Structure 1
Amino acid sequence: MPKNVPTNWHAETGKRIRIARLAVGLSQEDVASELGMTYQAFQKIERGKTKLEAQTAVVLAGLFEMDVRALLGLKAMPPRMKQPVGLFR
């Protein structure tokens, strides 16, 4: 991994994806279907176990109606997507 990318970047991105998905009321199955993958493959993205491809990030941002830069952690998340209390422990 390049030196300027934090080692936990994929995990943090996965958390933002989960928060955004829940904020718009979609299940993992719904999102996986839109991406043309199994829900298990999508779970790996949310857990940070699979690298997120650029094309997938763009599609996810469209599904979640947000800026791809926010999804990737390059700018602040929209106010409606604040992390729910107790979501991650």
Structure 2
Amino acid sequence: MTAKLPNPIDIHVGSRVRMRRFLVGMTQGKLAEQLGITFQQVQKYEKGTSRISASRLQTIANVFEVPVGFFFENIASHASAEYDPLSDAADASLLTLDGMALNKAFVRIRSARVRRSIIELVKLLADDCDASLTDLSIDADIRGLRSN
């Protein structure tokens, strides 16, 4: 018997819970305490493996001081059964701890000029990293040929 895959909408809602929890600086344990559940249940909600009831979602929204609709933002692209939430690299990177930490720090920068400069710097670093990885791959291929 194969395990049932989580519903894409449950995954989306759970990822929005996780993102909001991180942005407000709350642990899974603290959220669980406020909801009267275990932190393991919060983990299941965030992964989409346990469906969040309407009343529980309203309570979570109250804890985070957001409207319930927050958890459904950008849901249209996630509504199809074939949707893979990690296929969109931008969304996936925002759901990592590094991505959320970067975003949390970035939005606190008041100067638009500084934010634009940081964006350009990150783009340059990413391009340089891509080039370096390509160079490493070519070097490894050459070394492999030499040893044969």
Query: What are the equivalent positions in structure 2 for 1:74-85 lying under 5 Å apart?
Result: 85=94
Q: Distance in 1 between matches of 2:35 and 2:26?
A: 13
Q: Percent sequence identity over matched residues?
A: 28
The match for 1:53 is: 53
Q: Distance in 1 between matches of 2:59 and 2:70?
A: 13
The normalised TM-score by structure 1 is 0.74
Q: Residue by residue, what CA displacement relative to the aligned partner does 1:7-62 show, whole Å, maximum 9, x if unpaired?
A: 40001111100000011110000000011011001110000000111111111111
Structure 2: state its 5+ residue gaps. Answer: 1-6, 76-90, 100-148
Q: Distance in 2 between matches of 1:86 and 1:9?
A: 15
Q: Greater Rg, structure 1 or structure 2? A: 2
SS of the equivalent of 1:62 reads: helix
Q: Distance in 2 between matches of 1:48 and 1:19?
A: 13
Q: Distance in 2 between matches of 1:59 and 1:68?
A: 9
- Judging by fraction of residues, say which structure has more helix: 2
Letter in 2 for 1:87: T
Q: Pick 1 or 2: higher relative contact order, CA cutoff 8 A, min separation 6.
A: 1
The normalised TM-score by structure 2 is 0.46
Matched positions, count: 76
SS of the equivalent of 2:66 reads: coil
Q: CA deviation at 1:72?
A: 3.0
Q: Against the structure 1 CA distance between its residues 51 and 25, is the aligned structure 2 distance closer, same or farther, given a 3 Å change threshold?
A: same
